[in-house]
């Protein structure tokens, strides 16, 4: 059990994932009796009885709550493996048994796993303790022909408006994810008006606007991509498609230069399960190609990893390619989309397990967390090579990171799930390039930070702490002074809202910060004045349902963070 406790456990299990098991439902409900398949099966281990109906229910719970960190096949990634017989590094779940598993499910850990007692019912927890002691279900394939069957072109291109049907400032539109409801709200950031609430995929993870800013592309944990047109008076979904059964990442082609004009030409969707990415026509979402990401790990031991999930994708502005981060293998793929049917791919070994990241200030270097190894990987994108691997704090989770400048020079920052620190890495050429030149700390114990954000016109860096188990810490955001990099103020939950504060986003002008309140009794969107740090507006309308990520069109297109 000590191995189980000491690992860099369970970073994003609060985020909901949909399952693909609707595609492999069992028709009968006869009991499945499972015993160990090794010679030590008689170690006084009890027989685990779980019916097919219970297996299906437990699969739903597991993939909604746990698969992001432990993997669909339970082989582990940021969190440890959860296999009945173990994997040689971590305890077998059959050895932990129901009492041991219950401890972690109910109480969480200080390094990022939420406590599920009070969120999951007693019956759900008990069912999970049995589910985790039997073999995980198999993952079905989803090939190009299958993807094409999911494609739904709702409004053909020639039936869409050729210019905005309004006088609003699309650059300052916000797309707001309402995760549990499977919806995305579009809000006018200038007037603070709700323009539309649209049904999308389940538990949307991110939104990415097209390079021109006309469209939003959402991707749900069920793998559905929804294409939202911002030109009509009321934004609308104009196309849908499924990239995987379980997914996280989407981005558009942004390059325009000597190698061609690819603005808004293609998009890519990255799959957790199956482990693959799909390239689509960005105007219609017609599927063009599927590429599987299973392969050898970066460590040099030739380990072949079947479940090699696409953790994050970013589009280069300097080259016609996407940076695709393959979590379990620790390989960064640079995918050239000049031929979307047969994309050229450069694979760069780095460190495990890759998660999320963004560009530093020049847009040349991509910086991504290898969070299980407490590293940040630096990729020279134009030269297609590994630049540096930087030691940071415990379990870095930068989101896209934060770029800022002060007397130390240009810096890129990450926060951490496993401790209360923020690491500031110098990105300017010189002897200190790619070194942590400053570490700052938030008040209170433990980490739990998911995102941090600033803006070129701001003097502040904002950090959340949504996964800290202490309610006095997760219900606040933390502001640092960019010039001194010292902690400035803890901004606590205002009256009228209740939950955890998460994910900051600036408006175009850089003078407002929007914060979500989720996982509580009263969902809300909070808008703060970045100069005074005072609350300007609070949305608590009925259509606000457990909001998480917010994405400003201009800032996301231009990689401002």
pLDDT at residue number 85: 85
CA-based radius of gyration for the chain: 22
Q: Is the pLDDT of residue 279 over 80?
A: yes
Lowest-pLDDT choice from 89-93, 112-116, 349-353, 440-444: 112-116
Identified catalytic residue from 178, 367, 397, 442? 397
Share of the chain above pLDDT 90, in %: 73
Could you give the strand order of the β-sheet that contains 215-220, starting from the edge strand earlier in sequence? 152-153, 236-242, 224-229, 215-220, 204-209
Tokens at 4, concatenated:
């189980």
Q: Look at residue 217 and tell me whether its pLDDT is greater than 80.
A: yes
Residue 49 is inside which H or E element, if any? strand 48-51
Q: What local confidence, expressed as pLDDT, does residue 32 receive?
A: 31
In this model, does residue 24 exceed pLDDT 70?
no
Q: Is the pLDDT of residue 184 over 70?
A: yes
415 belongs to the catalytic site: no
Rounded Cα gap, residues 414 and 523, in angstroms? 27
CA 462 to chain centre: 19
What digits encode the pLDDT tens for the residues 59-72?
A: 888 877 887 678 77
Lowest-confidence pick of 126-140, 241-255, 466-480:
126-140
pLDDT at residue 450 tops 60: yes
442 catalytic? Reply is no
- Measured from the Cβ of residue 76, the count of other Cβ atoms closer than 10 Å reads 22
pLDDT at 23: 31
pLDDT(137) > 50: yes
Phi, psi of 21 (to 5 degrees): -75, -5
Name which residue leads in pLDDT, 77 or 244: 244
CA distance 544 to 561: 25
43 pLDDT band (50/70/90 cuts)? low
Contact between residue 312 and residue 368 where contact means Cβ atoms under 8 Å apart? yes
Is 113 a catalytic site residue? Answer: yes
Q: Are 278 and 243 in contact (CB under 8 A)?
A: yes
Q: Quick: pLDDT tens for 403-447.
A: 999 999 999 999 999 999 999 999 999 999 999 999 999 999 999
Catalytic site residue from 178, 298, 355, 367: 355
Q: Which of 92-96, 315-319, 447-451, 541-545 has the lowest mean pLDDT?
A: 92-96
Q: Do 311 and 298 form a contact (C-beta atoms < 8 A)? A: no
Stronger pLDDT, 179 or 184, i.e. the higher one: 184
The class that CATH gives domain 141-321+333-349 is: mainly beta
Q: CA–CA separation, 343 vs 321, rounded Å?
A: 9
Q: Examine the pLDDT at 36 and tell me if it is beyond 50.
A: no
Residue 3: C-alpha distances to residues 77, 81, 91, 351, 354 (Å)? 15, 11, 7, 21, 22
- Predicted confidence (pLDDT) per residue in 389-407, tens digit: 999 999 999 999 999 999 9
Does the structure show a pLDDT above 80 at 16?
A: no
Round to whole Å and give the CA distance between 378 and 389: 6
Query: Confidence class of residue 8 from pLDDT cuts 50, 70 and 90?
Result: very low
Mean pLDDT value of segment 179-190: 95
Per-residue pLDDT tens digits for 96-132: 889 888 988 888 776 667 778 878 899 999 999 999 9
Average pLDDT, the chain: 89
Rounded to an integer, what is the distance from CA 156 to the centroid of its chain? 30
pLDDT of residue 404: 98
Instruction: Give the whole-angstrom CA distance, residue 2 versus residue 114.
Output: 19
Q: Where are the domains of the chain?
A: 2-131, 141-321+333-349
Q: Is 397 assigned a catalytic role? A: yes
Which residue, 31, 24, 18, is CA-closest to 60? Answer: 18
> What number of H helices and E strands is found in the chain?
8, 39
Residue 78 pLDDT > 70:
no
Verify whether residue 292 is a known catalytic residue: no
Q: Give the global pTM.
A: 0.84
pLDDT at 20: 27
E-only strand ranges, 117-229:
152-153, 173-178, 183-188, 193-199, 204-209, 215-220, 224-229
pLDDT value for 19: 27
From the list 69, 367, 442, 501, the catalytic residue is 69
The average pLDDT across 172-197 equals 96
Helix (H) or strand (E) holding 144: helix 144-150
Q: What pLDDT is stored for residue 112 in this prediction?
A: 63
CATH 1.10.760.10 fits 2-131, yes or no: yes
Q: ω before 71 within 30° of 0 (cis)?
A: no
Mean pLDDT, to the nearest integer, of 378-387?
98
pLDDT (0 to 100) of residue 62: 85
Q: The tokens of 417 are what?
A: 């799930």
CA distance 97 to 103: 10
Side-chain-facing half-sphere of 250: CA atoms under 13 Å: 35
């Amino acid at each position: 059990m000590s191995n189980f406790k000491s690992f860099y456990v369970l970073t994003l299990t609060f985020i909901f994932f949909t399952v693909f098991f609707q595609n492999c439902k069992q028709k009968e409900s006869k009991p499945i009796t499972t015993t160990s398949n090794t010679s030590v099966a008689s170690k006084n281990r009890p027989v685990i009885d779980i019916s097919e109906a219970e297996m299906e229910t437990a699969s739903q719970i597991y993939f909604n709550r746990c698969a992001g960190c432990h993997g669909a096949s339970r082989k582990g990634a940021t969190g440890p493996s959860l296999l009945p017989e173990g994997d040689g590094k971590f305890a077998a779940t059959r050895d932990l048994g129901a009492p041991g598993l219950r401890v972690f499910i109910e109480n969480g850990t200080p390094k990022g796993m939420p406590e599920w007692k009070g969120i999951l019912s007693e019956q759900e927890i008990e069912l999970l303790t049995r589910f985790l002691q039997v073999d995980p279900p198999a993952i079905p394939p989803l090939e190009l022909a299958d993807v094409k069957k999911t494609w739904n072109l709702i409004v053909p291109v020639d039936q869409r408006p050729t210019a905005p049907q309004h006088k609003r400032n699309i650059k300052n539109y916000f797309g707001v994810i309402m995760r549990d409801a499977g919806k995305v709200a579009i809000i006018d950031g200038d007037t603070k008006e709700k323009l539309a609430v649209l049904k999308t995929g389940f538990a949307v993870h991110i939104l990415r606007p097209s390079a021109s800013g006309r469209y939003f592309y959402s991707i749900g944990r069920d793998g559905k991509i929804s294409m939202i047109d911002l030109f009509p008076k009321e934004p609308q979904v104009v196309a849908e498609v499924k990239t995987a059964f379980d997914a996280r990442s989407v981005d558009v082609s942004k390059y325009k230069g000597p190698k061609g004009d690819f603005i808004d030409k293609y998009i890519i969707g990255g799959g957790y399960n199956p482990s693959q990415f799909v390239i689509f026509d960005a105007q219609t979402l017609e599927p063009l190609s599927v590429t599987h990401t299973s392969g050898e790990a970066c460590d040099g031991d030739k380990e072949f990893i079947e479940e090699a999930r696409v953790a994050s994708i970013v589009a280069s502005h300097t080259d016609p390619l996407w940076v695709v981060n393959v979590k379990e293998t620790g390989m960064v793929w640079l995918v050239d989309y000049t031929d979307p049917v047969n994309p050229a791919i450069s694979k760069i070994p780095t460190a495990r397990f890759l998660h999320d990241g963004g560009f530093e200030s020049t847009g040349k270097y991509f910086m991504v967390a290898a969070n299980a190894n407490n590293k940040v990987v630096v990729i020279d994108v134009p030269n297609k090579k590994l630049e540096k691997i930087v030691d940071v704090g415990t379990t870095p989770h930068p989101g896209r990171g934060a770029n800022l400048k002060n007397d130390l020079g240009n810096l890129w920052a990450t926060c951490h799930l496993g401790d209360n620190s923020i690491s500031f890495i110098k990105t300017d050429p010189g002897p200190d390039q790619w070194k942590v030149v400053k570490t700052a700390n938030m008040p209170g114990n433990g980490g739990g930070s998911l995102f941090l954000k600033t803006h070129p016109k701001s003097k502040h860096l904002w950090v959340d702490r949504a996964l800290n188990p202490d309610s006095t810490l997760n219900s606040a955001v933390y502001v640092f002074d960019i010039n001194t990099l010292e902690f400035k103020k803890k901004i606590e939950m205002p009256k009228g809202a209740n939950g955890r504060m998460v994910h900051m986003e600036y408006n175009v002008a850089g003078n407002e910060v929007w914060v979500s309140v989720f996982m509580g009794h009263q969902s809300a969107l909070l808008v703060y004045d970045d100069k005074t740090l005072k609350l300007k507006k609070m949305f608590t309308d009925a259509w606000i349902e457990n909001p998480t990520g917010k994405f400003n069109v201009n800032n996301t297109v231009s990689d401002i963070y």
